Copies of this chain bind each other. A is one copy, B any other.
């Protein structure tokens, strides 16, 4: 029963992508598929490398164009946690992150935190917040 649902779910998903105005090219589908459930917060380069094998002709322009569209559609969020490149997150619900000082890896944190909007920001329009933890991930902790 599980297996028989897969094509149906897939079709539904494609339908959804179409419904929001995405022209479905194989490259786009590959990017979407790569991002789906991806918790690595990949960079454009990461996506490119990952798909290079399947699409040897893939161009960076395609990656960047597609990401731009996905961001505009609200399906992907751009992360500002890496001071050398943009990284992208397909999980757009509010959540938090841990940044490893050793390897730069970014982990998701799904806990809820009670945060009040501080007085310092009373003149700002605060739209969002996230808690950013930092330290060493399990692997880098070992190496120390």
Give chain A's interface residues, CB within 8 Å of chain B: 78-87, 96, 98-101, 107-111, 113-121, 123-138, 141
**Cβ of A109: which chain B residues have Cβ within 8 Å of it?**
118, 120-121
**Cβ of A134: which chain B residues have Cβ within 8 Å of it?**
126-129
Best-surrounded residue of A111, A114, A117, A133 (most CB of chain B within 10 A): A133
Counting every copy of the chain, the complex holds 2
Taking the nearest CB of chain B, how far is it from the CB of A7, in angstroms?
34
**Cβ of A120: which chain B residues have Cβ within 8 Å of it?**
98, 107-111
A115-B98 contact in complex given A109-B120, A120-B107, A124-B141, C-beta closer than 8 Å? no
Best-surrounded residue of A82, A101, A134 (most CB of chain B within 10 A): A134
